Structure 1
């Protein structure tokens, strides 16, 4: 599949400091890609190079088939960019601001006004169209910012920390809006954020960015497979008749690294006394998948197996394992 954004060996240095280090990344048409990393990881610097607003020291950034360094104006015509803090004319209305942006992009006046009203309705600001932006809340400003990047009908939109400073309900609504716009319009979206769960909610793929390096790319399953740690597999067993001998049997299974009884044992059904049930939940960590052997070992010790389930790595686990490793998986 042809790429919409392609970065090859992209590098940016400020003196001795390397902000972006030999970055290679391909983003496909119509996908929502999350660039995830802590503040200072190099995400914004990468975006600025993609827009032709910063010149790389090495490598190339190609957006919509255009070299962003050599032809930045062509990229700007086809890409909508929303920074973390969108600037508007505070003493003008939301409608005025959108029409102004459209006119700057050479959209004729009647079409600009029509398009602006349609977008204000789509982002949930129809009732505030004639309200001065200075009176908008942070969430309203971000919605207006989204309409602002869409007014010129871009092929790609780049959103840099779009949910910064918005309340939880506003975040949820904005993320749903971004997802719907991408799906309905076929837009390619690059979303930069340091919020794990927000990225997980709407992104098709995620790139983990640490200290200027892209250290992992993929969906959740692919990222989990890339996790090269000794603890690749986690399994939880619900056992009745848990004892020291059963624990030793599980620990003795080939490739098992750790056996631990969790603290979240279920209470007796319908009980109000806080008394623990006879069923223990045990978590086993191993370097390879030995689930059938674990079940056999537990049953062989006379334990009754009430439940057996793999524990998948979440984005939190993946992100923190990479990040805590200083960029080394």
Structure 2
């Protein structure tokens, strides 16, 4: 069936509005709104069972949504699944190859299924095997490949038809740390060289953050936040407060009163530093980022300022807050 809506290059690569999938009374995906721009590397991050794979299947037209809508490269995957599949490469977490055929033969077979002429298919297969670091193993049977080699072959397989976008579902699953590093570097390089939009699904926050422009946090079928790591960190600041870490050589007697009198300071938590010289330190909760003001007040009080910085949430903090039963009031969209 031909999609009646014209496809324009300026349309987002992915546009989901209220996308929902229910299995009986169980909501696998709940009213998902998500836009991914062309050329973006986007990470869909969440624990196993969060609904990431179900979302991907709806985007590929492999399962129909219960409600809402999806547009992939301007196409409706429910009405035009074949057109979507021609333009999108998909690598599932468990890739199937013909085990008794070589890596080269597997790629050529995929290319021929996509109506690529034989000579072009062979040339493209050799080119991609070199790009993913499998040139020397091109004529080896896929059944003898390690997990890492299979994932590299999987990347070549999804690229053989020259897609506009690739979707990678848990691509690093079961690979050793060095293999993960190499695969992520390969994904980054290929996405730039091929000019691709990339959607990468994973439950490993650190891996996603290494390669993605933005991250969407997916929990229990809901997208609870999206943005880059800095944006997500700001969204976690409890009650809109900013924490400033202050370390001084010693704490002047009147400094606490002066700080509390400053506009924006909410509370001060003083504690002894772990430093060898017994330096004085404090965490100062503020209504906004007034780090320069705090520094000026401390110096004007005669204190020797050793360090001052606005505290930012790291990757582990973000993971803990969202995925390990953290404060529910922070489950909001970060734009």
Same fold (TM over 0.5): yes
CA distance in structure 1 between the aligned counterparts of 2:180 and 2:38, rounded to whole angstroms = 25
Correspondence for 1:325: 327
Instruction: Find the residue that maps to 1:40 and give its secondary structure.
Output: coil
Identify which range, 88-97 or 147-156, moves more after superposition. Answer: 88-97
Note the alpha carbon deviations across 1:181-212, whole angstroms, 9 max, x for none: 11122100000111111111111111111111
Correspondence for 2:314: 314
Correspondence for 1:180: 189
Change in CA separation of 1:316 and 1:35 when aligned onto 2, cut-off 3 Å? same
Q: Is the 8 A contact 1:247 1:259 kept in 2?
A: no
Q: Is the 8 A contact 2:268 2:282 kept in 1?
A: no
CA distance in structure 2 between the aligned counterparts of 1:262 and 1:36, rounded to whole angstroms = 38
CA distance in structure 1 between the aligned counterparts of 2:230 and 2:143, rounded to whole angstroms = 44
Q: Is the 8 A contact 2:18 2:68 kept in 1?
A: yes
Q: Is the 8 A contact 2:31 2:68 kept in 1?
A: yes
Q: For residues 26-105 of structure 1, what are the structure 2 equivalents within 5 Å?
A: 26-105=35-114
Q: Is the 8 A contact 1:179 1:202 kept in 2?
A: yes
Shift of 1:280: 4.4
Q: Which runs of 5+ in 1 are unaligned?
A: 267-275
Identify which range, 129-138 or 316-325, moves more after superposition. Answer: 316-325
Q: Which runs of 5+ in 2 are unaligned?
A: 1-9
Correspondence for 1:235: 244
Note the alpha carbon deviations across 1:23-61, whole angstroms, 9 max, x for none: 111110101001111111110000000000010001111
Shift of 1:127: 0.9
TM, length-normalised to structure 2: 0.88
Shift of 1:233: 1.6
CA RMSD after TM alignment: 2.2
TM, length-normalised to structure 1: 0.89
Correspondence for 1:269: none
Shift of 1:300: 5.2
- Correspondence 1:115 to 2:124: yes
Correspondence for 1:213: 222
How many residue pairs align between the two structures? 319
Q: Is the 8 A contact 2:272 2:278 kept in 1?
A: no
Note the alpha carbon deviations across 1:222-249, whole angstroms, 9 max, x for none: 2233336236422222310147875676
Instruction: Find the residue that maps to 2:155 and give its secondary structure.
Output: helix
- Correspondence 1:256 to 2:266: yes
Q: Is the 8 A contact 1:51 1:76 kept in 2?
A: yes
Note the alpha carbon deviations across 1:287-329, whole angstroms, 9 max, x for none: 4223234324434554210222222222332343233235724
Instruction: Find the residue that maps to 2:215 and give its secondary structure.
Output: strand
